[in-house]
Amino acid sequence: MSREQRGPNEKLGAVLALAGISNAGLARRVNDLGAQRGLTLRYDKTSVARWVSKGMVPQGAAPHLIAAAIGQKLGRPVPLHEIGLADADPAPEVGLAFPRDVGQAVRSATELYRLDLAGRRAGTGGIWQSLAGSFAVSAYATPASRWLITPADSSVAREAFGAEGAGAPLKVGHSDVQKLREAAEDARRWDSKYGGGDWRSSMVPECLRVEAAPLLLGAYSDEVGRALFGASAELTRLAGWMAFDTGQQEAAQRYYIQALRLARAAADVPLGGYVLASMSLQATYRGFGDEGVDLAQAAVERNRGLATARTMSFFRLVEARAHARAGDAQAAGAALKASEGWLERAREGDNDPSWLGFYGYDRFAADAAECYRDLKAPRQVRRFTEQALSKPTEEFVRSHGLRLVVSAVAELESGNLDAACEQGVRAVEVAGRISSARTTEYVKDLLHRLEPYGDEPRVVELRERARPLLMAPA
């Protein structure tokens, strides 16, 4: 139902005409987007006609879903004011800005932290259930370009009189920052072992809201501020990564943008590159290989002469993933060769950042295998997955599950159905122990590839073993 009538909404009508979407087509798209967020909507062409001709404003999440539906067709974000619905709840716009001013950057990040997430751990989806913005890779263009132009702010000191809120401002010291860093380290371990949807991992947004936000709004010197922004950027990127792993692409995108802005305030160029690499992996995963290449190359270029060899290796590996998804075998091969070369130069005594602790030859091999999977080269996939699966899995359970699926796909494409099903069974067992929508999607992809062999007893058994995983709530 619509809650008010204001006269014809000419803006909405004009944008619909520009996008080439009919009234019935828009209604269908809005209903589908709502269903993806657990909402039951029953709009039809008459509903859309009322929005356009009578200016009626739909309730709840609908205005944002309308913007998202049109944005998908146009291939760019569509703000509410462009479609004449600017008076709707603006919450879903939070987190997409990349402010030039440090003070505005603090406000942008803390608004996002405060918005999140009542109900997410309880399973209601919180604000993200009604967010508009299905993932729009174009939203990364401005943050990436501004970071490339100016990867570090000149000063981030925040005086007592600049702090917001009533009473004396919180005086921030290095001990406060250390607590955030320890929280990030704990969260990284839980995420790798149990998946982004585990309740221990999902405490990161709560930590940002309760711990990081008051510190960012406090008073601090330039030195302490840089460290504070760096720790907050790490936690924010982690929140984005966990949202990505659990399929909340809209939330992940907003966290990543704010993490990049915080990394700029920290003057931490390698950390900014790591955020860009995370953005690239998300874009690549969502099928935007070319944009993934741009984001990864931005990380590489800005970090030449700054980042450690191991860090540069990881950035080139992410670039290879994007090239492979874009179907450019030559560029992917060159990036993989460069990544391996950087990794060979890495030494134990290098001053690698703490957030890179996951990366070594096994991770290189795992991503190389995924590159060759996308390039349909099963022999190379098998070679690299053997290396990737050779490391113990106690710490990186999710990664092991993903590697098993990639190995199963390679066996299948090589004509080894028994081996593919064997690896698939192992992958399902791992996936059942963690909370990761991404891992579940990998398993679904394997089952889809096995459909031509659906009557084979081994495939039937695998499908039955996977049934509880596929039926579990997202």
Residue with the bigger pLDDT between 93 and 256: it is 256
Q: Look up residue 412 and give its two tokens.
A: 């299948």
Is 90 exceeded by the pLDDT of residue 118? Answer: no
Long-range contact set of residues 91-96: C-beta below 8 Å, sequence gap at least 24: 91/115, 91/127, 92/64, 92/127, 92/130, 92/131, 92/132, 92/133, 92/250, 94/254, 95/253, 95/254, 95/255, 95/257, 95/258, 96/133, 96/139, 96/253, 96/254, 96/257
pLDDT tier for residue 124 given thresholds of 50, 70 and 90: very low
Percentage of the chain exceeding pLDDT 70: 87
Q: Look up residue 68 and give its two tokens.
A: 């998202």
pLDDT for 86: 73
Percentage of the chain exceeding pLDDT 90: 64
CA–CA distance, 43 with 62 (Å, rounded to integer): 10
Residue carrying the six token digits 């720790």: 231
pLDDT for 193: 77
* pLDDT tens-digit map of 326-336: 999 999 999 99
CA–CA distance, 380 with 386 (Å, rounded to integer): 10
Residue carrying the six token digits 């990081």: 212
Is 80 exceeded by the pLDDT of residue 394? Answer: no
Mean pLDDT of 337-366: 95
Is 50 exceeded by the pLDDT of residue 234? Answer: yes
DSSP state of 171: B
Is 60 exceeded by the pLDDT of residue 375? Answer: yes
Residue type, 347: R
Residue type, 22: S
pLDDT tier for residue 130 given thresholds of 50, 70 and 90: very low
pLDDT for 94: 82
CA–CA distance, 144 with 275 (Å, rounded to integer): 10
* pLDDT tens-digit map of 55-76: 888 876 788 789 888 988 888 8
Asked if residue 445 lies in contact with residue 413, where contact means CB atoms within 8 angstroms, the answer is no
Question: What would the DSSP string read from start to end of 229-255?
Answer: HHHHHHHHHHHHHHHHHTT-HHHHHHH
pLDDT for 184: 92
pLDDT for 119: 35
What are phi and psi for residue 219, nearest 5 degrees? -115, 135
pLDDT for 123: 37
> What value does the mean pLDDT of the chain take?
87
Tell me which residue of 208, 279, 258 sits closest to 95, measured CA to CA. 258
Which of 31-45, 159-173, 234-248 has the weakest average pLDDT? 159-173
Residue with the bigger pLDDT between 199 and 352: it is 352
DSSP state of 151: S
pLDDT for 165: 47
Q: For each of the domains in the chain, give its residue range(s) and CATH number, in order of start.
A: 10-89 (1.10.260), 95-130+137-267 (no CATH), 374-474 (no CATH)
Mean pLDDT of 46-50: 92
What are phi and psi for residue 220, nearest 5 degrees? -160, 155
CA–CA distance, 458 with 50 (Å, rounded to integer): 54
pLDDT tier for residue 167 given thresholds of 50, 70 and 90: low
pLDDT for 90: 52
Q: Give residue 193's Cα distance to chain centre.
A: 18
Please provide the size of the chain in residues: 474
pLDDT tier for residue 162 given thresholds of 50, 70 and 90: very low
- CA dihedral sign of residues 322, 323, 324, 327: positive
- Please state whether the predicted TM-score (pTM) of the whole model is above 0.75: yes
Instruction: Provide the CB-side half-sphere exposure for 461 (13 A, CA).
Output: 13
- 71: how many CB neighbours lie within 10 A of its CB? 23
* pLDDT tens-digit map of 89-111: 555 568 889 999 999 999 999 99
Residue type, 272: G
Is 60 exceeded by the pLDDT of residue 200? Answer: no
Which of 12-21, 148-157, 194-203 has the weakest average pLDDT? 194-203
Mean pLDDT of 211-232: 96
pLDDT for 125: 43
Question: What would the DSSP string read from start to end of 172-192?
Answer: P-HHHHHHHHHHHHHHHHHHH
pLDDT for 395: 73
